[in-house]
């Protein structure tokens, strides 16, 4: 049992090392502008445009349920008009970027892992090497850059629709005063909250695409290997996003409060 545990630890550390090397190669290639622009535009469309539906639905109903739950508690202490302020701050700095990243990880991360995994199993990645094309430049960098560009834009949409849906739920369905609700939201939701949310979204975009690419390019052989890589891509990306969110929240809140 001890030997088995040690083996798993060694394999985990080796996998982390390989992931770090892949991230380093992608960063070097990214900063040297070795990007296939046609592939980049397609990946932005795939990651960003085709994810809008799930992101907008998630943001809308998250904003409404957050507004309703906040109202039910604030109504007990006669603070009804502060409901939208809580929705604005929560959606901007926390729920907007995190839920957007989790939804996109479930859709895009799995698709990237399955696509690259199939290419590995059918030896298409080896064929790229024989044609003097670096797989990282051709396959990884466009997907990572698309995630870095698309996630902040999707997060802005999620934040906007979440606040609008929270306003609808509070004012139309629960009868909160619209003027003071909007005034308090503008007063307590600052540029700092939006900036924190966008920084988080930018980070999560890189994480979920890198994890998907890594799992796809290192998957096992056969259909079972591709399926396992697809599942692990979603699970690991989601866990990485949630863990990173904690440390980003602490560091960014301290940073912006000290400015």
Can you give the pTM of this predicted structure?
0.90
Query: What interhelical angle do 83-90 and 52-74 show, nearest 10?
Result: 140
Domain that holds residue 193: 35-258
Residue 166, judged by CB atoms within 10 A of its CB (0-12, 13-18, 19+), counts as buried
CB distance 147 to 108 below 8 Å: yes
Does residue 60 form part of some domain? yes
Q: Which residue has the higher pLDDT, 34 or 138?
A: 138
Quote the DSSP letter at residue 105. Answer: I
Reported confidence tier of residue 241, pLDDT bands at 50, 70, 90: very high
Residue 133, judged by CB atoms within 10 A of its CB (0-12, 13-18, 19+), counts as middle
User: What pLDDT shows up at residue 158?
Assistant: 94
Give the whole-angstrom CA distance, residue 155 versus residue 98: 9
3-state secondary structure (DSSP) of residue 133: coil
DSSP H helices in the chain:
2-31, 37-47, 52-74, 83-90, 96-104, 110-121, 124-130, 135, 141-167, 178-188, 191-217, 222-258
Structure tokens at 159: 């934040």
Arithmetic mean of pLDDT, 129-136: 80
User: What pLDDT shows up at residue 211?
Assistant: 94
Structure tokens at 199: 């920084």
User: What pLDDT shows up at residue 17?
Assistant: 84
Does residue 2 form part of some domain? no
User: What pLDDT shows up at residue 32?
Assistant: 78
Arithmetic mean of pLDDT, 201-217: 93
Tell me how many domains the chain contains. Answer: 1
- pLDDT exceeds cutoff 80 at 34: no
Arithmetic mean of pLDDT, 43-54: 92
């Amino acid at each position: 049992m001890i030997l088995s545990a040690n083996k798993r630890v060694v394999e985990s550390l080796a996998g982390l090392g390989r992931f770090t090397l892949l991230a380093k190669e992608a960063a070097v290639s990214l900063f040297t502008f070795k990007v296939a622009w046609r592939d980049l535009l397609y990946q932005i469309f795939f990651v960003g445009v085709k994810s809008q539906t799930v992101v907008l639905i998630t943001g809308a109903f998250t904003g409404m349920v957050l507004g309703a739950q906040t109202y039910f508690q604030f109504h007990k202490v006669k603070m009804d008009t502060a409901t939208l302020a809580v929705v604005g701050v929560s959606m901007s700095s926390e729920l907007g970027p995190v839920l957007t990243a989790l939804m996109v990880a479930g859709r895009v991360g799995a698709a990237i892992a399955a696509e690259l995994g199939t290419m590995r199993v059918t030896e298409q990645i080896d064929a790229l090497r024989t044609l003097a094309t670096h797989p990282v430049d051709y396959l990884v960098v466009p997907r990572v850059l698309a995630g870095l560009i698309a996630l902040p834009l999707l997060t802005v949409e999620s934040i906007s629709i979440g606040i609008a849906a929270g306003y609808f739920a509070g004012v139309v369905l629960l009868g909160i005063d619209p003027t003071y609700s909007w005034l308090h939201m503008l007063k307590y939701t600052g540029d700092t909250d939006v900036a924190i949310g966008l920084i988080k979204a930018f980070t999560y975009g890189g994480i979920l695409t890198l994890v998907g690419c890594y799992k796809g390019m290192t998957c096992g052989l056969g259909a079972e290997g591709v399926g396992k890589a697809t599942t692990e891509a979603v699970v690991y990306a989601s866990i990485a996003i949630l863990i990173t969110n904690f440390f980003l929240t602490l560091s960014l809140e301290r940073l912006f409060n000290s400015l």
